[in-house]
Every structure is written in structure tokens, then in C-alpha cells.
Structure 1
Amino acid sequence: MTLLTRLLTDKNALNHTRTEELPLAPLQPGEALLRVDRVAVTTNNITYAAFGDAMKYWNFFPTGEAGWGHMPVWGFADVVASDVEGVAVGERFYGYWPIASHVRMEPVRVTARGFYDGAEHRQSLTSAYNQYTRTSADPAYRAGDENYQMLVRPLFITSFMLADFLQDNGFFGAQRLVFSSASSKTAYGTAFCLEGPGQIERVGLTSPRNIAFVRGLGCYQRTVAYGELEALEADVPTLYVDFSGDEDLRSQVHHHLGDTLVYDCYAGSAQNTRFLRNTALPGPAPVFYFAPVQIKKRNADWGPEVVNQKFNAAQRAFIDRVSHASPPWMRVREHQGFAAAQALIADIHAGRIDPQEGHVVVLVP
């Protein structure tokens, strides 16, 4: 009998996880069984888990156990059994999976590109997360770059659409962008998308230990340590892009810049996993940024095909940059098995991660 191994997360203590094994029931008509091969585990997974119930993050893969969630992650899986025409055993798909050995799905809207999971509980969830792409039909796929693709793509779609959102709104009248947690992949991905002649000034805020790394990226014109925030001129219209969630830092930014702070964009954090609170700061109220909103807008503006073309080209350029820069922006570390995944989640939750590393968990022995 094939066993299902799954990793469950305590919703009230995201660094606390456990694994369990369950028998896999026989495949039903209209179902496919996929074996999850390798997945990326990143800061974004912890961020979304923190807002899990409110953002329906836990609804993708229900556990049936109160207080325990099944953390979704991006990666690759192979079809090992199928009762669905057009979804063949041996095919490989990229998409949103649970941290588990296997997942049962109900593929619908099957095309040459892939399918959507038609399970009833997923019908009210964001469509982009229900889509699974055949690697054989993905123009952005390269077999040798799988680790980079699953590490970069989910973060980079946030970066790409955030850069587009800011440009689409004329940077809210700002002449300077200030990024907190500038060493984070989503932050420097956004800065990368805004490179080029005539673009807005980009300033990276980071901890002293990450100063050299952030300066070496080359996608920020200036790098400033958190303790040196007051070195920023207070008379330049500024847009604050917050990847740290640090309320004390946000307060310093607002009080230092005052009326010249034109917009505060909160892009999420792994270390501060609370919703935005009203702390009566001077200047604009922080606004939470959610990538699917801008994706929906651009799908309407340009059409999904053009959106995909633009994103694929930018992602290809970004993967080339992070993997081929000297020194590389990212070093990939592979972790083997569920116990390693548990330790990795605890380290990410605690902030014990080198910003130059990307982490992949290989689940298939």
C-alpha cells in the first residue's frame, strides 16, 4: 500500500511542525495522483501562512485537523496515476503543492499548457494558484534551472507586478523608492525590474551584516544601514516599500520623512507576521500590496498572453542575473526529506537565513 507522508504546521506557532503518514485511498474517476518531487521553501511561505486564515492560504490543502495547516509551496511533481484524459502518467508539472509525498487532484480545463485543479474546495480560491503547467509546454522552463525557477518565479511574480503597480501609479509622485529588507529576494527582484535609464532612485535599507551583500547587488543606487536612516535627505518625495514589517522602523521612516513620504507600501514579512495596525503615524497610512490584484488588472489591460510574455522575458533575465552574476546573487541549497524541511521552516521563521541562499527541499528519495 502506498502511504501519504505530509508535513503539518501549527497555525498558532508557525515554527512548530510535525509529519504523519496516512494510507492513500484508491484513485477515483476524474482524479490524478501526483508525487511531489522538489519544492522551494522561502520567506514568502511563512508570510502567507501568518495571514493564513484571513487570506484563505490554508484552504488550498485542508488537513481536517483543527489548528493545523498544510503549507502550500511552489515546485514540481510527476503524475504517477491518472483517470483524466490529457493528463498522462510520467508527465511533470509546475505549480502549487502541499509539503507532502503525494497529492490527489481533479484536473479540469485540460489543455496543451496544463490544467486547473477542479476540487470543489478550491473553486472560491484565487485562480492563479489552482493552475498547473506542463514543463513540456512551458516556454520559461529549462530542466537545468528547476531550482531557480521554483525559487524565483513565485517571488519574482510579486516583484514584477509590484514594480508594474508602482510604475502604473506614477510612483505616487515620489522621486525616490526606499526598500526595507533590501537583501530579500522579493525586494531586490523589484529593484531589478526598475533598473534602466530614467528610472526612479532606489535606496536599500538593510542590517549592518547585509550591507556588503546589498551593495554588491548593484540594483540599488544607495545602501543605508537601519541605524543610519536619518542620513536620507528629508526633502525628497519618497515612496516606502516595506518588506520588513518592522513597526519601529516604519515609525522612524514616517517621522523622519514627514510630509515628503507620499506612499507606504507594505509588501509582507516573515519576521512580523501581524496584519497592519493603525499606530497613528504621521503621513500616509500603510497599504498592503497583494500581487493578484495587479495581475487581474493587467490581464484585463493587456490580455493574459501578453502578461505571460512580459513576465517570462523578465524572469529569464532575472534568473540569468542571479545565477551568473559574479559573485552570484543566489546560491541554491538542497535539503533532503521531511525532517530537513521542518528544520528549514524553523530557521526561516526565526530569520536564521543567509540572504544569498535559496532553499529547495527534495521530497522524493
Structure 2
Amino acid sequence: MAGVITELAVAGRRFIDTRRRRRAGQIEPAPDCARFKLRMQALLDQAPAGLIAKARWIDMPANAAPWLDSGVQLEPNDVVSWFVCGRTWASKPLDVWVSPALQVWSRIGNDGDLISASRNSHSVTADRAGTLQFGNYFPNDWADKHGNTMNPDTVYRSLKGELLILVIRWQSDALTGLKALQQSGDVDGWLAREIERLELGPQRPSGWNQLWHIPDNEIYRACQTPDGAPAICCHTHGDVGIIQHDVDFPFVPSTQIDWRWIVETLPSTIREDAVLSHDYLSIAIEFDTGKDLTYYWSSTLPVETGYICPLPAWKDKEYHVVVRSGSDGLGEWHSESRNLYADYQRHMARSMGGSPQRIVRIWLIANSVFQRGTGDCSYAGIRLSDGERVLSVL
């Protein structure tokens, strides 16, 4: 894990780079939520009779702890859409912020399951009676699937920003309602994007599940290698996603993992072992101890560099190992083979402890939240073996 000097050096570089981009007009402007509200309300006022059961605007400070009651009461099978305008700032001088898609989660009633959105808009059919509630996520983490938090509410105090939420409860289904409302126009493509999301449906590769306490995303999709083999393609830009495949495999001295991948674009151009630059693409192995070992391609750190995850919420459970570094080989397919037992003993045994007996999941991780860069890669041929058994995962 990076020390204080490394963290300060990365912060200094981010500050200089942000000033340069600001002078060059390359900083992405914050959304104009006043304009959004004015124009969207005009569409609501023109909505055909019988289309909308209820519409409500809600202001939510970015530093408010969960949960905020929207005042919109739902009954089972009611259909509701919401649109969130705004930005949550971790640091304006460093241009570190998260989008509403990452920040704003929801639930129905105090005991409802968490609902995460892959875009700044979302639509659901209520599975229970209760009011629709909204809660800020970053920089906290969820302790359970009902929205209790891991850390005290004070972690939100350093954040800046305002979030404006429009909630629409439809008389019919969301797709019908959105298309009918769109007949009167659109506001910077907000309606079109939610229509597109609903028509696309789930994009997650078959057999892979989203890690429940990480925001929903559209990062991963099933694809093929040039020779027609099954693959998973990954594209990340200013978001984060982890998908998992359940396995049950012994962890013994001969256990190894093999995979093929092509990394076309790395989401970071600076060392990834500091919080403000912890953007990367990786494949990870979760053990029955709850800890995971993740292999990634670094932009600058030497091969075989290992470190505990710098993110506070992950420092007790994740370890990173660099398997490739630099730009050489980007855009080409590579085959990897790692002895998991040897890597665990070398990198994790002393610093993270535990005595794993089984491998329980394979993960794919993509993060580009901190620098809002772009990462592109594809995975294929993932398998576990120990000399006696072979388990093909992809």
C-alpha cells in the first residue's frame, strides 16, 4: 500500500494536471440542473392525461447521509422512473467527483432491498408497499442489502454538491410512459437514454453476477475472440464495476489460474497504488476467507509489485499484484499463468494472514472513477487447475 509520500505525490500531480486542463478548457462542466428542471417540468406540463400518476422534485445534498424519503408512496406493481441531475465532489481542486449513477442508490420502504442504477436514470416495478427512498453511497459502503452503512455518517461531511431528483410514477409501464412523454420532446436526451436502457435490457454475461455492494454498470458484455472463442469485453469510463463467477476449487500448492486477455487502453497513466489514481483493469480470485488476490496491468509499476488495496473499505480484504506493465503489448492478446498458492505465500500470507482452503469466486474488476479515464480490455480462456482437476470458467 502506498505511503503518505506517494499519496501526496499523486495528489500533487493530479492538482497540476487539473490546472492545466482547466486552463485548456478540458474540464467537463457540471450539469445545469436549473435548466434541466425548467425544461423537464415543461414536458411534464404537456403530458397526456392519464399518463403520469404522480411527479415530484426532490433536492438531496451530496453530503447527506442515507436515507431521504421522497414522499412518493408505492404499492406492489407500481411503476416508477427517476432522473438525477448533479454531481458529488470529493475535491474540486483535483477534479475528483462521482456521477449520480454511482452515488445515488434507492430502496422501497425501510426494509426494501438496495436498488442501484447503471445510468443517471432508472425505472423499477415496486415489489412491496412503501415510500421510495434515496441514499448517497460514496465514500461509505453498505453493510447489508437493506441499506445500513459500514461507516459512521461523518464520512459524508467532506463532500460537496447538490443532487436534483425527478420521480415519476406512471399509470402504465415505464417504457410506454417514457415514449409517450417523448412525443412532446426531450431534454438533452434524458428520456432517450432511459428508453435505450430499458430496450437494451441486462447486458451482463451469462453466469456472472454483480457484486451486490458495488454500483450497477454496463461495463461488461459477452463477446468473442478473433478466433470465435467465448470472451467478455470490458469498457469503463468514469465508473466502476465488479462481476463474479461462483466456483468451488481446492487451494493447494499446485493450484493455478490461466487466462488470456487483450488490454487496449489503460484507465490510468500514473501509478495505481494511491487512492487518487487507483484506476485499473484486473482479474481476481476470492478465497473462502473473504479475501481476494487481483492481477492487473499497471501503467508504470514494475511487474511483480504487490500491495494492499489503498482504498480504506478494501484494505483488509484485497491485494494487488502487477503482472504486466507499461504500454508494450497493449492491443495484443496475451496468455497468463499464475501459481496461486505461490503468489499467496509470497504476497499475502504475511500481510493479510488467513489460511484459505478453497477458491470460491473469480472476479473481473474495472475502475476508472478517480481519474475518469477510459479502460478497454477483453478476457478469454479463464480456468483453474491443480494437476488433477481443471475447471473452465470462461
Specify the TM-score bucket, using the shorter chain as the normaliser.
under 0.3
Higher helix proportion, which one? Answer: 1
The two structures have a TM-score, normalised by structure 2, of: 0.23
